[in-house]
Copies of this chain bind each other. A is one copy, B any other.
Amino acid sequence: MGASKTDFFSSDQNELAAIAKALGHPARIAIIQHLLKVNSCVCNSIVDELPLAQPTVSQHLRELKQAGLIQGTVEGNSICYCINGETWNKFGELFKTLFASYKQITKCC
C-alpha cells in the first residue's frame, strides 16, 4: 500500500496529522525556525541556510506552504517567505489543546 486511509479518519484528525507531517522533517523545522528567528519576510537565500540543494529546499518550502504554515509572495525576481500568522496561531492552538488534554493518572500499569 503506502497510502494512508485518510477517508476513515475525521477531518480533525487528518488536519492535525497533516500539520504534524509537514513539520516532520528536520529541514522543514530548520526553515520554520529560521523564519521565526529573523521575524520578517525572508526574500532570498533560504537555500544558503540549509545543507541541501536548491530544488530540495524548494520542495520543502512547497510542502510547508501547502500545509498552510508559511506563505510566499513574489517580490521582483525573488520570493519572500514568512510564517503565515493566521494559520500558525490556529495550528498552535490545536497542538496546545492536544498536549494540554493530558491529565496525569495516578494508577497506571
Q: Which residues of A contact B (CB under 8 A)?
A: 4-6, 8-10, 13-14, 16-18, 20-30, 32-33, 36, 39-41, 43, 51-52, 73, 75, 80, 82-83, 85, 88-89, 91-92, 95-96, 98-105, 107-109
Q: How many copies does the complex hold?
A: 2
Q: Is the CB of B85 within 8 A of A36?
A: no
How many angstroms from the CA of A92 to the CA of B99 in the assembled complex? 5
What is the CB-to-nearest-CB distance from A94 to chain B, in angstroms, rounded to a whole number? 9
CA distance A90 to B68 in the complex (A): 26
In the bound complex, what is the Cα–Cα distance between A73 and B107 (angstroms)? Answer: 13
Query: Are A83 and B109 within 8 A (Cβ)?
Result: no
Q: Is the CB of B13 within 8 A of A29?
A: yes
Residues of B within 8 A of A41 (CB): 105, 108-109
